[in-house]
Chains A and B, each alone.
Chain A
Amino acid sequence: MPTTIVTGRDLVLTIATVNYDAQTTAVTLVNAPVITTYQTLDGKAYKHIDDQWTLNMELLADWGVASSLFEAMWTAADTAPNTALAVSLTAVTGAVFTCNVFPVFPTVGGTAPEAQTDTWTMLVNGTPAETFS
């Protein structure tokens, strides 16, 4: 079987139908499982009781430009912080993950002399749905 390599260039990310590829330098959809451990008379027993998913993004700030993604996220966090935004993350053609995330306020500012960047950590509402084809 030939080796398959999937790179970051195969990723496609949209939030609230807006494509964020051009500003995003990294994106990960991460699960933090909650597994309770019980010490029984027969030894350890484990129970998976919960999952918390997080969408982590690293971006280049684009304040001030037309259709600014940072300004859109700021507005979403300011006006509708409890309304989850629909996210579609394509790992590669044929593997699409969809979920809903809560908006966050972008961080303002940066370090001289570098480009202004930011990291968004957004909680996922529920569990992502996957489409494998």
Chain B
Amino acid sequence: MPASSIATDVRGVLATALATSLASVYTSVPETVIPPAVVIVPDSPYLETTTIGKSVTRVKINMTVSAAVAYNNNAGALNQLEVLIIALIGLMPTGYVVGDVSQPTIISVGASNILSADLSVSTYYTQT
């Protein structure tokens, strides 16, 4: 059995579970964001040691799931973002703690504007 990794067993599992027809899902920040998109980004603090002992390496992983949609008109973009976030919350796999959603903000990427909001997510990872 290969050694576990955060990339495969946490971010990969999360990206697979969040796969939706509403947006493209990335396990890390892509070079080019093409909305609608869902990007899994490390939060701060990223890894927290919460358990006692050294026999097992176990950490709490804090992540941000950034949902982004094209900012073409305000009402439409906000509605599309809300639909996307509600869909993401519904798709969240077992064992992932869902936190709050931040205020939507407009981000300029290249020549286009996107409307983005962050959903905080955390889970526990045991190295095997």
Q: Give bound CA distance, A20 to B122, whole Å.
A: 22
Whether B97 contacts A26 by the Cβ 8 Å rule is: no
Answer whether residue A25 sits at the interface, using C-beta atoms and an 8 A cutoff.
yes
Q: Are A9 and B53 in contact (CB under 8 A)?
A: yes
The one of A12, A26, A60 in contact with B55, judged by C-beta atoms closer than 8 angstroms, is: A12
Give B78-128 interface residues, CB cut-off 8 Å to A: 97-99, 122, 124, 126
Interface size on A, residues (CB 8 A): 18
The answer to whether A60 touches B124, judged by C-beta atoms less than 8 angstroms apart, is yes
Determine whether B52 belongs to the interface, using a CB cutoff of 8 Å to chain A.
Answer: yes
A113 touches B97 (CB 8 A): yes
In chain A between 19 and 72, which residues have their CB closer than 8 angstroms to a CB of chain B? 19, 21-27, 60
With A9-B49, A60-B124, A115-B124 in contact, is A19–B55 under 8 Å at CB? yes
> Which chain B residues lie closer than 8 Å to A8 at the CB level?
52-53
A101 within 8 A of B: no
A99 partner residues in chain B, CB cutoff 8 A: none
Q: Is the CB of A22 within 8 A of B56?
A: yes
Known: A22-B126, A115-B124. A9 touches B97 (CB 8 A): no
Return chain B residues, CB-CB under 8 Å to A12: 52-55
**Nearest residue in B to A57 (C-beta to C-beta)?**
B52
Contacts of A19 in B (CB 8 A): 53, 55-56
A21's partner among B52, B99, B122 (CB-CB below 8 A) is: B52
Indicate the size class of the contact surface on chain B: 10 to 19
B73 at the interface (CB under 8 A from A): no
Q: Known A9-B49, A60-B124, A115-B124; judge A21-B97 contact (CB<8 A).
A: no
Complex CA–CA separation, A106 to B1 (angstroms): 33
A63, chain B: closest CB distance, angstroms: 11
Extra A-B contacts (12), CB below 8 Å, given A19-B53, A19-B56, A21-B51: A9-B52, A11-B53, A12-B54, A21-B55, A22-B126, A23-B51, A24-B52, A26-B52, A60-B124, A113-B97, A115-B122, A115-B124
21 contacts between A and B (CB under 8 A): A9-B52, A9-B53, A9-B54, A11-B53, A12-B52, A12-B55, A13-B53, A21-B51, A21-B52, A21-B53, A21-B54, A21-B55, A22-B53, A22-B55, A22-B58, A25-B51, A60-B124, A113-B98, A114-B97, A115-B97, A115-B124
